[in-house]
Structure 1
Amino acid sequence: MSELQQQDFRQLNGVALAYMGDAAYEVFIRRHLIEQGYTKPTKLHHQATMYVSAKAQAGLIALMEADDFLTEEETYYFKRGRNAKSYTHAKNTSVMTYRISTGFEAVFGYLTLSDQDDRLAEVAHWCIEQVEAGRLPNEK
């Protein structure tokens, strides 16, 4: 990545990073579910929600913090996403949960746009493992 390109992505706001990160994380989840043998759209959607809902993403961030999983720079981008002014609102969740999930997605956006493919895959697979191990707090 050129210095100019790197400077440009660093100037993106947290919501733009989250927009990119949402797509990147979703691809990992969809691929994982298809590899697990899910093929029917309704079942795929239902299973994907366990990984990609705002509540799941907020739970994953809590685990990342507890496990000291994120790097300093990833934490910086999480906070940029979490604190970004969003013009959309939360559906079926609290504003705080929605903001935390935006921060989660911003981390994925940062890793994608900075071409850190190995780390991106590591974080995505770690998230999948946490969900499948039942480590997320109960959603209420």
Structure 2
Amino acid sequence: MNKQQAELLNGIALAYIGDAVYEVLVRDYLLTKGLTKPAILQKNATRFVSAKAQAKIIEAMSEAEFLNDYELTYFKRGRNAHSKTTAKNTDVVTYRISTGFEAVIGILHLNEEKERLQEFWNFCLKTVEEQQSELTVFKK
């Protein structure tokens, strides 16, 4: 698919591929950490892939002004897309924000912007790990 074709896709289609790409990034990361038990993998993956987690990452990206105008366009396209599916474990607003998050990953992937996608992933990783550290400190 060329860049022009990718840019014409609707937000749901971009989120569809973005979800798959993000899932692979998360799974690769968890396996490289040495996690192998299914229950532990699933619990840790949820910290990254849940709609709530993705919404928190986007919030952090917004505060840091991480996304450029091009990426914001695709975030909004995904967020504003009308999906036939509904959120299972979250409210509609959070679900839509996570769809926007996945749409950004989708456009970066389809346009083969590997360096920017890696920067995006690094930001996600840092944000999730910082939130986990804060929770650990809070529990003590």
- Mark yes or no: TM-score above 0.5: yes
Q: Structure 2 matches for 1:95-106, cutoff 5 A?
A: 95-106=92-103
Which residues of 2 match residues 1-140 of structure 1 at below 5 A? 5-134=2-131
Task: Structure 2: state its 5+ residue gaps.
Answer: 136-140
The structure in which a higher percent of residues are helix is 2
1:108 and 1:96 map into 2 onto residues whose CA distance is: 19
3-state SS of paired residue (1:133): helix
Query: Is the Cα contact below 8 Å between 1:130 and 1:136 reproduced in 2?
Result: no
**With structure 1 as the length reference, what TM-score do the two structures score?**
0.92
Q: Secondary structure of 2:96's match?
A: helix
Shift of 1:126: 1.1
Alignment check: 8 A CA contact 1:24 1:109 kept: yes
Matched pairs, number: 135
The DSSP-based 3-state class of the residue aligned with 1:134 is helix
Shift of 1:83: 0.2
Structure 1 residue ranges, 4+ long, deviating more than 4 angstroms after superposition: 135-138
What is the letter of the counterpart of residue 120 of structure 1? L
Root-mean-square deviation (Å): 1.7
Identity %: 53
Cα shift at 1:56: 0.3
Superposed CA offset, 1:26-72 (max 9, x none): 11111111111100111101100001100000011011000000011
Amino acid at match of 1:59: K
Give unpaired runs (5+ residues) of structure 1: none
Q: TM-score scaled to structure 2, two decimals?
A: 0.92
